[in-house]
Amino acid sequence: MVPLLSVFAAFSFIIMMFNLPLPGGTTGHATGAAIAAIVLGPWGSILAVSIALAIQAIFFGDGGILAIGANSFNIAVVGSFVAIWVYNAVAGKSALTASRRVIAAGLAGYLSINAAAFVTALQFGVQPMWFTDANGAPLYAPYGLDVAIPAMMIGHIGIAGLAEMFITAGVVAYLQRSDVALLSLTAQKDAESKVDGTWAGTRRLWVMIALMMVLSPLGLLAAGTAWGEWGAEEFADPAARQAITEASLGATPPVDSTPEGLLTLGSWFEAPIPDYAVPFISNEVVGYIFSAVMGTGLVMLCFLLYGAIADRFRNNNGATN
């Protein structure tokens, strides 16, 4: 499973680099959690997507290191389980090559990312109620549920969800033609024994990953910050505060200055390559591709270490028995 976990974690990492313009001047992205769940099952998907999110946060400052737990729960856990439930319910016992499975995959992708976005909106929206200073001012996210839910969901229902839908359906259609056995792992089909999960057996998928690396700078075309991912500098800048207002359905930030919690916790950790801008590479496009390659390499390293530790544990356990 190590090559399969690696390739779908790499897919998730890179697909999240393709930023999409959303209403209000914000950005969003697909996650790859749905296709990972369809091929690997929910537990494998949770592991693969969580590793991708952790690497994003720790090395590239994408998502925030203190938000790894929340992001992993929303995208990897909620997204994966919603995806596999919807996919299995719609696909039923249809043949692995049936067009019904492509439709099921599309619906799974669309609903999974929107479920993850909705849970994220809830987490943003409850913060002003639960975390305030002595004067009642929000310490972190400033907007309540009345703003957070529609601000998050409009862009995901209308754009990001459609991107996840087409990507998930497209990959399933591709696998039906090129490596249909991979779809058997979660479909209780006899073809499971024919799955070639070696590095050589997944080479077609790695070619896809390599192509995505080259195309990743397309993600630079979408300007703006994802809704809710504001740092202290945004609240201190009048122009950025206006952008926050426009992205929040015209609601002015209910704080006149940077929330105290962001000032306290927002700068204690600095990622080595923040925002995928490599310090020693002046060309932004080349730096973005380099970040994609580096992230993929870190994903592979994590799973190679995981495989080595698992093998050693099994060997030691066998010797003990």
Q: What are the extents of the domains in the chain?
A: 2-197+234-320
Flag whether pLDDT at 75 surpasses 90: yes
Give the per-residue pLDDT at 232: 82
Give the per-residue pLDDT at 136: 87
Q: How many residues does the chain have?
A: 321
Flag whether pLDDT at 192 surpasses 70: no
Burial of 92-118, coded b for 16+ CB within 10 Å and e otherwise, reads: eeeebeeeebbbbbbbbbbbbbbbbbb
What whole-number percentage of the chain has pLDDT above 70?
97
- Cα dihedral angle (113, 186, 10, 64), rounded to 10 degrees? 40
Flag whether pLDDT at 185 surpasses 90: no
For residue 284, the cross-strand partners are: none
Give the per-residue pLDDT at 262: 86
Flag whether pLDDT at 8 surpasses 60: yes
CATH number of 2-197+234-320: 1.10.1760.20
Q: Is the separation of the CB atoms in 35 and 182 below 8 Å? A: no
Flag whether pLDDT at 189 surpasses 80: no
pLDDT (tens digit, 9 = 90+) per residue, 195-238?
877 888 899 999 999 999 999 999 999 978 899 988 888 888 88
Question: How many other C-beta atoms lie within 10 A of the C-beta of residue 257?
Answer: 12
- Cα 11 from Cα 45, distance rounded (Å): 11
Q: Where are the beta strands (DSSP E) in 111-202?
A: none
Average pLDDT of the chain to the nearest whole number = 92
* Closest C-alpha to 212, from 273, 167, 271: 167
Q: Is the separation of the CB atoms in 184 and 195 below 8 Å? A: yes
- Cα 277 from Cα 288, distance rounded (Å): 7
Helix H or strand E encompassing 21: strand 20-22
CA atoms within 13 A on the CB side of 50: 17
* Closest C-alpha to 141, from 22, 230, 68, 10: 230
Give the per-residue pLDDT at 320: 61
pLDDT (tens digit, 9 = 90+) per residue, 260-317?
888 888 778 889 999 999 999 999 999 999 999 999 999 999 999 988 888 888 888 7
Residue 294 is which amino acid?
A: M
What global pTM score does this model have? 0.92
- Cα 59 from Cα 73, distance rounded (Å): 20
Contacts of 261 (CB under 8 A, 6+ apart): 131, 138, 139, 140
